[in-house]
Amino acid sequence: MSAVGKPVNRPKKNGGLFSKGAVKHMTEDGSANEESDAERVPRRLREAAAKSDGKKSKRNSKRDIEADDTEDEATLELEKRTEKYKRGAEVKGKVRSKKAQAAIDHAQKRRVEAAKSAARSEMLLTESGGYLEAEGTERTFKFTQRQIAENVDIGSTDKMFNLKLDEFGPYNLKYSVNGRHMLLGGRRGHIASVDWRNGKLGCELHLRETVRDVCWLHNESLFAVAQKSQAYIYDHTGAEVHSLSRHIQPTALGFMPHHMLLASTGMTGRVVYQDVTEGRVAGEHRSGYGPSHVLRISPYNAVAHVGHGNGVVTLWGPQQPQALAKVHCHRGPVQALALDSSGTYMATSGLDGRVRIWDIRRFEPLHEYRTARPAQALDISQRGLLAAAWGRSVSIWKDALTTRVDAPYMRHQLEAEVSSAGFVPYDDVLGCGHAQGVASVLVPGAGEPNFDALVANPFQTPRQRQETEVRMLLDKLPADSVQLDPNFIGRMDPRSRAQQHSDSLADAQMRHAAARGSGAHLDSAVRNKTKGRNSTAKRYARKRNANVVDLKRLQEMERLEKDLRESAAKRRKGPLPAHETGALHRFYAEKNSTR
């Protein structure tokens, strides 16, 4: 046969002549002898290979277990961090409209994704805050600023300065949101804005008028000044932009960045809110407690906390005619007030020489500290350090909000009496204004080490500042959204309309029953105006005096008991005459007595 017609044995992929694990040898008679790989490999080599395979499998299993444990730990850490960034509770229940339900599910999904994204970004932050640590019998409050400056880098040393301004003091100072700019206000009319990180002067004014307080607005381009007669707004060049005539004799200012509202209180005892974007007055309320000198805006819910001369701190909103809450904090006038960033704790100082820490959620005092003199300035840093200044001394307490500490974290003595104090955002610096100028103090661990560039960027460019300003105007919240619980906004009631009606009816019945038991229903109930014994005033007085026992009431009760005893004795003797049992029997008794 020719080679063309001869069949050819080609190798197969599986089970052919060159298959793995078997080799075929052709013998002389044409038969194939199959020999396995195991028979061709020596025994020792087979045992060594088996042992190595076992070790590899064990190592791989250990790696898998370790990888699973690491993954579980990372998952738990992510879930723990996610809880911190969640805003509001999850919406439970369903609504009838499919479109509305889809919108609710989508919004809830985006909220969860945003919380997870914030938690992941936090895990990637490399900076961490540190505090002073003492060794042995040392105490951190004994460390001086000179010792701290000798052991820190040059960049931190440059942040320590002392401005000698003894002609126009005492000074109030405020820092911008990103902590880059400082605003100074001297009591005798000196105003200055400074880029204190670079040592550049923005603007400087001599108003030749009493200045009681200063305040930055949404950024460093505008600021407000509380002058003798009213408040004014200036730009970054020092030019007067607005004159706020409704803010009469202001003593303290505060700004709400999310609502674009400027709040003030003053000698008239009024709390005034001014919308800086529209120029209108968003709210004006009379406190009823006389002149006020203390005002702080909560960074959590934008509620204004006002301290009064009788020791009461009132909480105000722009659209609420009455105070949201009233807290009696001190026996004397409130001297200073500070709020933490979470909106949980409030620190107050009074003329009674005490600094009290309050839980705003329950409006209850947690603990208090005694100072040598009444503290004139208070402030709380981003990481919870409490600074209190009295006289020429400034004391900083660590973990003073949650627990009562015995010794301060740091102490510092200034040249003159301190009038104001404030921590620099995103930095370990405390600024103090006193009668002879301004000084800065290094406080390790005070500022947040990592900043969010979308919230506050200390290194922002002019272009970024403009974009941030436009975004703040677009995201501006209405004035009526200021309330104690900011999470209440946009919350949906999962109950049906019938269930809501039944629940409201049950609540109304319970309130009516409670009002009838206490007599309060007579205050608001609609009554017929009658005269005589059964008039409205008489019934109201009887209801109010139901449990009141006085001499007149005792005499009346004794007379009624005597009449009952006499009538019972007459009935026991026999049937009474007709003239004594009729409707006019009392006139017969009076006639017999006169005879």
Tens-digit pLDDT profile for residues 458-503: 888 889 888 999 999 999 999 988 988 887 766 666 778 788 888 8
Give CA–CA dist 74/407, Å, rounded.
Answer: 38
Kindly give, in sequence order, each residue whose CB lies less than 8 Å from that of residue 159, ignoring residues fewer than 6 positions away.
Answer: 197, 427, 429, 440, 442
Has residue 67 got a pLDDT over 50? Answer: yes
Question: If you average pLDDT over residues 387-393, what whole number do you get?
Answer: 93
Has residue 421 got a pLDDT over 70? Answer: yes
Q: What local confidence, expressed as pLDDT, does residue 50 receive?
A: 63
What secondary structure, in 3-state letters, does 428-477 show? Answer: CEEEEEECCEEEEEECCCCCCCCCCCCCCCCCCCHHHHHHHHHHHHHCCC
Give CA–CA dist 487/476, Å, rounded.
Answer: 17
224 neighbors 210 (Cβ within 8 angstroms): no
Kindly give, in sequence order, each residue whose CB lies less than 8 Å from that of residue 465, ignoring residues fewer than 6 positions away.
Answer: 219, 221
Residue of 262, 175, 163, 249 lying closest to 212 (CA atoms): 249
Q: Which amino acid is at 346?
A: M
Give CA–CA dist 93/14, Å, rounded.
Answer: 60
Both tokens of 175, joined, read 């820092």
Q: What local confidence, expressed as pLDDT, does residue 376 receive?
A: 93
- Confidence grade of residue 151 (pLDDT, cut at 50, 70, 90): confident
Scan for tokens 């705003």, then name that residue: 360
Give CA–CA dist 303/346, Å, rounded.
Answer: 12
Q: Tell me the average pLDDT of the chain.
A: 81
Has residue 547 got a pLDDT over 70? Answer: no
SS3 for 478?
coil
Has residue 44 got a pLDDT over 90? Answer: no
- Confidence grade of residue 3 (pLDDT, cut at 50, 70, 90): very low
CB burial readout 387-400, b (16+ within 10 A) else e = bbbbbbbbbbbbeb
Kindly give, in sequence order, each residue whose CB lies less than 8 Å from that of residue 225, ignoring residues fewer than 6 positions away.
Answer: 185, 191, 207, 211, 213, 214, 215, 231, 232, 233, 234
| Percent of the chain scoring above 70 in pLDDT | 76
pLDDT tens readout for residues 583-595: 666 665 555 555 5
Q: Pick the more confident residue, 62 or 401.
A: 401
Q: What local confidence, expressed as pLDDT, does residue 564 receive?
A: 87
DSSP 363-384: TEEEEEEE-SS--SEEEE-TTS
Question: If you average pLDDT over residues 55-81, what whole number do you get?
Answer: 66
- Confidence grade of residue 507 (pLDDT, cut at 50, 70, 90): confident
- Confidence grade of residue 137 (pLDDT, cut at 50, 70, 90): confident
| Full-model pTM | 0.66
Both tokens of 51, joined, read 């042992």
Q: What local confidence, expressed as pLDDT, does residue 316 receive?
A: 94
β-pairing, 230-235 vs 386-390, is unpaired
Scan for tokens 């059964």, then name that residue: 534
Give CA–CA dist 50/340, Å, rounded.
Answer: 66
283 neighbors 270 (Cβ within 8 angstroms): no
pLDDT tens readout for residues 104-131: 888 888 888 888 887 777 766 666 678 8
Other beta carbons less than 10 A from residue 497's beta carbon: 8
Identify the sign of the CA torsion 572, 577, 579, 581.
Answer: positive
- Confidence grade of residue 32 (pLDDT, cut at 50, 70, 90): very low
Task: State phi, psi for 197 to the nearest 5 degrees.
Answer: -70, -40
Question: If you average pLDDT over residues 573-585, what whole number do you get?
Answer: 63
- Confidence grade of residue 578 (pLDDT, cut at 50, 70, 90): low
- Confidence grade of residue 78 (pLDDT, cut at 50, 70, 90): confident
336 neighbors 349 (Cβ within 8 angstroms): yes
